[in-house]
Amino acid sequence: MNEQGAFLTQSINAILEGAGSLLPELMLAFFFLLLVTLDLFRSQVIKKLLPWLALTAFFATLLIQILGGYTSESVQFLNLLRSDGLARYAGILFSAAGIFTILLSLQNKQLESRQQGQGEYYGFLLMLVLGLNLMAKSINLLMVFLAIETVSIASYILTLTLKEKGRAIEAGLKYILYGALSAGIMLYGMSFFYGLTGSLNYTSGDFWFSLLQASPLMVTVAAILVFAGFFFKISAAPFHFWTPDIYQGAPMPVVAMFSTGPKMAGMVVILRFVAAFSDPANATAFADVQLFLGVAALATLAVGNFTAIWQQTARRLMAFSSVSHAGFLLAGLLAFGTNYTNSILFYLTVLLFMNFGVFLFMQMAEDDFRIERLSDFAGLGRAYPYIGVMALLFFISLTGLPPLAGFMGKLLVFSNLWEAYGLSQNKMLLALLVVGILLTGVALFYYIKIPFYLFFKGNYTDKNLVISLSDKLLLALFALPLLVFFFKPDLLLTWIEKLLTTVR
């Protein structure tokens, strides 16, 4: 009994010691329970407060993560979660994505007209970001699985927000099926890793030392199975098939969140996972896994870019654009021996502003002008120059052309690939570099379609509508960082470096 009591006391002390590192997550959980509880009341005053409470939660967590000081990097939560600089910066991006999603939701006419379920909608946005934070902090395979499933469950429900739309129901069912398949494959791969190493902590030296002693074929098979779940989250081939249907059926603010939040969290998990490959001593032992990632990056780039060419609706075009960006990010991950982590985080930050800007523009097009197909944009840019110019900026940045930050994001990735090729002479890196540059030209072909219709096709003859000041300000909010980070990329890169290297 004394031994059991001592063990219980030790466990409680360990939980209390590491609980401080979960302050942002505890705050999100508190506000989630608060929103769900308040949603039970019928008072219209309370209903109107719900989005602002969610916004308060995201602003509070954003402020906590920016200021830091709530935890020590040396403290881990039961060897399951680590609150290091990488997790902290990712948390900042997740909180920003949550704020942007709320702002788009307040401007969305379909969500605004809903009388019921608002508390659940905003509550599950909080739960989604909570799961993303846990993904970024996870250093245990089982914890990664639980965090991914938390994100997935919240995502399924958010996809079905507009249940009255048949397309939303179809999208939600497909999302559940694809998610269940990828989760099952991933869990099977994790069981292989546990059998080979006797550990689930994939950041420990003992874990990778045990893999070095195991059969290379078994290690490669296990890694491929685990990456199935990761690829599902970042929309990478061949687990990208859910993307166009979800983008077509879910509410626009939710789609904007899906295009950024889970992709950022998935990339952070993969960053932690491939850290062992960057050690030259381990590079040869895990060469097959690196080859698999390279092939997956090439396939994702090809599928995303070439399939986007044939799309006739803006939503599906952006779905395959998201797949394409996943390919660029995977390619950047393989630039071992370079400062690839900073480049990936820079790219993800720029992607956050680009995607939310584009989806706000598309939301305005759908709500105000009833536009869905690309050809319906004809003449809209000449009738409404402000939104036309803003859309042009976002699409140029997505392509990766100057003078916008999308160019700097791709330039950093390409520079790292070239530097890594010079160090290792790995022909896969050269192939990724050449294909990435060529497909940037292909991307210009489909990204320029909407600006072409906006300014060079027909005349928009519908009645004149007044674009709200809030929409104009939001478009400017998303566009401004794209200009700043092109001319002053060091502002962001220095901050990223400081967060990743500072020991609190």
Higher pLDDT, 346 or 381: 346
Q: What is the pLDDT of residue 485?
A: 94
Q: What is the mean pLDDT of residues 421-433?
A: 88
Q: What is the pLDDT of residue 116?
A: 65
Q: What is the mean pLDDT of residues 479-486?
A: 94
Q: Which secondary-structure segment (H or E) carries 197?
A: helix 166-197
How sure is the predictor about 23, in pLDDT bands with cuts at 50, 70 and 90? confident
Contact yes or no for 353/452 (Cβ under 8 A): no
Contact yes or no for 435/298 (Cβ under 8 A): yes
Phi, psi of 81 (to 5 degrees): -130, 145
Burial classification of residue 425, based on how many CB atoms lie within 10 Å of its CB (0-12 exposed, 13-18 middle, 19 or more buried)? exposed
Q: What is the mean pLDDT of residues 320-329?
A: 93
Start-to-end CA distance of the chain, whole Å, equals: 39
Q: What is the mean pLDDT of residues 247-274?
A: 90
Higher pLDDT, 20 or 99: 99
Per mean pLDDT, which range of 157-171, 296-310, 323-337 is the poorest?
157-171
Q: What is the mean pLDDT of residues 120-141?
A: 91
- Kindly report, residue by residue over 201-254, the tens digit of the pLDDT: 888 878 888 888 888 888 889 988 999 888 888 988 888 888 888 888 888 999
Q: What is the pLDDT of residue 381?
A: 85
CA dist., res. 246 & res. 255, Å (int): 7
Q: What is the pLDDT of residue 463?
A: 58
- Kindly report, residue by residue over 25-76, the tens digit of the pLDDT: 899 999 999 998 888 887 788 888 888 999 999 999 999 998 876 665 555 6
CA dist., res. 234 & res. 416, Å (int): 21
How sure is the predictor about 504, in pLDDT bands with cuts at 50, 70 and 90? very low
How sure is the predictor about 163, in pLDDT bands with cuts at 50, 70 and 90? low
Q: How many CA atoms lie within 13 A of 287 on its CB side?
A: 8
Q: What is the pLDDT of residue 94?
A: 95
How sure is the predictor about 191, in pLDDT bands with cuts at 50, 70 and 90? very high
Q: What is the pLDDT of residue 503?
A: 44
Range picked from 210-224, 252-266, 269-283 for highest mean pLDDT: 252-266
Secondary-structure percent of the chain, ordered helix, strand, coil, rounded to 5: 80, 0, 20
Residue 98 has pLDDT above 80, yes or no: yes
The contacts of residue 417 (CB under 8 Å, 6+ apart) are 331, 332, 334, 335, 429, 430, 432, 433, 436
Residue 480 has pLDDT above 90, yes or no: yes
Full 3-state SS string of 106-135: HHCHHHHCCCCCHHHHHHHHHHHHHHHHHH
C-alpha dihedral (313, 315, 318, 320), degrees to nearest 10: -80
Q: What is the pLDDT of residue 4?
A: 63
Range picked from 168-172, 223-227, 350-354 for highest mean pLDDT: 350-354
Percentage of the chain surpassing pLDDT 90? Answer: 42
Task: Determine the distance from the C-alpha atom of residue 209 to the mean position of all C-alpha atoms in its chain, rounded to a whole number.
Answer: 31
Residue 192 has pLDDT above 60, yes or no: yes
Higher pLDDT, 138 or 117: 138
Which stretches of 300-417 are assigned E, i.e. beta strand?
none
Residue 153 has pLDDT above 60, yes or no: yes
Look at residues 123, 74, 52, 66 and name the one whose alpha carbon lies nearest to residue 94. 66
Q: What is the pLDDT of residue 257?
A: 93
Angle at 40 between CA 38 and CA 44, to 5 degrees: 75
- Kindly report, residue by residue over 380-419, the tens digit of the pLDDT: 888 888 999 999 999 999 999 989 999 999 999 999 999 9
